[in-house]
Chains A and B, each alone.
Chain A
């Protein structure tokens, strides 16, 4: 199969179209502008709809409209714009509508910086907007994986009737890598008989809504959502483990940071320290069972979490390990990127502390 050189943002846009996305709505923001730019000519070519919305709020609500009609729809943005989409994401959850949202994270808070960051982890994985909802959150660390995850994102959204987020950062959006397009057969999907594409006869209408004014009705709905979430937590966690068997220390990192952690792990191996990389691919559901299993090996003396934030995913690591191992943290913030050398230092420190 042919290898093609792609830029991250354009690749993600093309992968969405190949996954059957036929409606894109977005608003410009660095560092993801190549996504709407690419979509603006490519989507019409593919027979789909492109609208440059007046705001991120409008864009996510356009997604709501298209999705309610049974169309595979997406939007993309970066941190400040994703904040504006929170209301809309909550409504997508409440109306059980599939959608794909790409967040090419940049440094916050506020207008922050335009450099890569991972500080929207809490916003993405806890509960988008208000209410007890969830998105499935996928975090690619290579462009090949980004292309493959785009296809999975649309399938997961349709399968579970919920929003799915691709959580990456400016680095992934801007880098170039070789990619092959996998010719995978389309997965069978549940029929969208709920779509509001016209009533099926007098009195037989579709009503897409998130309003359940009776509290007990609303609790029943919430219970149904939670059941679905428990199923997803069982079925969908994904991770990659590199050299984790018999490791002295596990580095836990996702996305761009995982790439850097991997080179730190290689340096440590040269020094004779057995460092493994545990990389969550799904951030929600967090692959806690797999992490617990690997961290509980007798050889493992600590699990060091590295993030481009002040420490967000580390909470999930600590919840997964409930004190069974030391769980130190190293992070850079504001758009700064951790260096492999700094991670190596942190590992030395962590091992020394574990010894004591």
Chain B
């Protein structure tokens, strides 16, 4: 007997993803697909995926996609949105991609007030390359390049990108969310929808930072990873709206 245990989410292609069990990348994809479907934007949306575990996002979310070089998604999105202001344009970047190698590109996209949306996946680690320290790795957190835990004296403290970028006038809306439980899940969904809607009103840059899991490289079970986001990560990275300016 065949039993259907799962159907693809709205706005998603009918293919299995390659993400590890308990990874939140797939959930964020699903939220984006759902919101695009709800906004009837799947035909006009253009996503830009990063170098990182989400490099195949374009195989999963059912809209057009470009794959950018590591960290360059905001520059690529600038080329897309400036030539096609009518499209709903979003980038999807990890923390190595956005906060490290692509720090200049995201800073200047926000400085110029580029009218696209950034979905920023902060999982406090480099996922794809096997768990190295990221600019977002918490103090004391172990990684393959900080085996004794991140040392402030050597690496400084982790960066809060949503706050940093919100100091610039070009940032119209920034919110930090997580997916650790259902109430946060719904908040994340609302934030993504709001960011897309504000983009189409042309108010400026919109930015959603998602505190996300990497059970594989954190060495945790999926439930423990979710709990760690909720209890530990969100202490350093406060959830909620960081900036909101109307027009």
Interface residues of A (CB under 8 A from B): 22-23, 25, 49, 51, 53-55, 57-59, 61-69, 71, 73, 87-88, 91, 95, 196-199, 202-203, 205-211
Contact flag A66-B64 (CB < 8 Å), given A58-B75, A61-B105? no
23 inter-chain pairs at a CB distance below 8 angstroms, sorted by A residue, are A22-B83, A23-B79, A53-B108, A54-B104, A54-B107, A55-B104, A57-B105, A58-B104, A61-B105, A62-B76, A65-B76, A66-B82, A66-B83, A68-B80, A69-B83, A197-B84, A197-B87, A199-B64, A205-B58, A205-B65, A207-B66, A208-B66, A210-B67
Shortest Cβ distance from A206 into B: residue: B64
Question: Which residues of chain B (42-69) have a CB below 8 Å from chain A?
Answer: 42-46, 48, 55-56, 58-59, 62-69
Apart from A91-B68, A196-B66, A197-B84: 6 A-B pairs, beta carbons within 8 A: A53-B108, A54-B108, A58-B104, A68-B76, A199-B42, A205-B65
Report how far A55 CA is from B103 CA in the complex, Å.
12
B31 at the interface (CB under 8 A from A): no
Check if B78 is an interface residue, CB within 8 A of chain A.
yes
Query: Do A205 and B82 touch (CB < 8 A)?
Result: no
- Closest residue of chain B to A23 (Cβ to Cβ) is B83
B189 at the interface (CB under 8 A from A): no
Known contacts A198-B43, A203-B13, A65 near B58 by CB under 8 Å: no
Is B83 touching A58 in the complex (CB atoms < 8 A)? no
Number of contacts between A and B (CB, 8 Å)?
133
**Docked-complex contact B67 and A207, CB < 8 angstroms:** yes
The residues of A that contact B75 with a CB separation of less than 8 Å are 53, 57-59, 61-62, 64-65
Q: Which residues of chain B in 5-22 are interfacial with respect to chain A, using CB atoms and an 8 Å cutoff? A: 13-14
Q: Which residues of B contact A69 (CB under 8 A)?
A: 46, 79-80, 83-84
Q: How far is the CA of A210 from the CA of B107 in the complex (A)?
A: 25
Q: When chains A and B are docked, how far (Å) is the Cα of A197 from the Cα of B64?
A: 7
A186–B81 Cα distance when bound, in Å, is 27
In the bound complex, residues from chain A placing their C-beta under 8 Å from that of B77 are: 65
The answer to whether residues A64 and B65 also contact, given A49-B83, A69-B84 and a CB cut-off of 8 A, is no
Contact of A25 with B79 at beta-carbon distance under 8 Å, contacts A58-B108, A208-B65 already known: yes
Nearest-CB distance from B189 to chain A (Å)? 21
For residue A54, which residues in chain B have a CB less than 8 angstroms away from its CB? 104-105, 107-108, 111
B176 within 8 A of A: no
B72 at the interface (CB under 8 A from A): yes
User: What is the chain B residue whose CB lies nearest that of A204?
Assistant: B62
Q: Give B10 Cβ to nearest chain A Cβ, in Å.
A: 10
Distance in angstroms from A170 CB to nearest chain B CB is: 27
The 8 A-B pairs of least Cβ separation, nearest first, read A65-B79, A61-B75, A209-B67, A62-B79, A54-B108, A66-B79, A65-B76, A196-B64
Given A49-B83, A207-B67, the answer on whether A61 and B76 have CB atoms closer than 8 Å is yes
State how many angstroms separate the Cβ of A198 from the closest Cβ of chain B.
Answer: 5
B68 to chain A: which residues have CB within 8 Å? 61, 64, 91
Q: Is the Cβ of A205 less than 8 Å from the Cβ of B104?
A: no
In angstroms, how far is the closest chain B Cβ from the Cβ of A93? 12
A353 to chain B, nearest CB (A): 49
Query: Which of chain B's residues have a CB closer than 8 A to the CB of A202?
Result: 42, 62
Residues on B with C-beta less than 8 A from A65 are 48, 66, 75-81, 83
Q: Which chain B residue lies CB-closest to A22?
A: B83
Residues in B with CB closer than 8 Å to A71 are 83
Of B62, B72, B83, B112, the residue contacting A88 (CB under 8 A) is B72
Query: Closest approach, in angstroms, between the C-beta of B166 and any C-beta of chain A?
Result: 19
C-alpha gap A208/B75 in the complex (Å): 15
User: Once bound together, how far apart are the Cα atoms of A208 and B77, in whole Å?
Assistant: 13
Q: Is the CB of B65 within 8 A of A207?
A: yes
Cα separation A151 to B177 with both chains bound (whole Å) = 49
B83 touches A95 (CB 8 A): no
A207-B78 contact, Cβ under 8 Å, with A65-B48, A88-B69, A198-B43: no
Bound form: Cα–Cα A157–B24 in Å: 40
Interchain CA distance A88-B76 in the complex, whole Å: 10
Q: Mark B86-125, 1 if CB is under 8 A from A, else 0.
A: 0100000000000000001101100110000000000000
Given A55-B104, A87-B69, A208-B65, verify A63-B58 contact (CB < 8 Å).
no
Residue of chain A at shortest CB distance from B112: A51
Nearest to A52 among chain B residues (CB) is: B112
Nearest CB on A from B52, distance (A): 12
Most chain B beta-carbon neighbours within 10 Å: one of A25, A63, A198: A198
Residues on the A chain within 8 Å of B56, using CB: 211
Q: How far, in angstroms, from A162 to B146 measured CA to CA in the complex?
A: 42
Q: Is the CB of B44 within 8 A of A198?
A: yes
Q: How far is the CA of A202 from the CA of B62 in the complex (A)?
A: 7
Chain A residue with Cβ nearest B14: A203
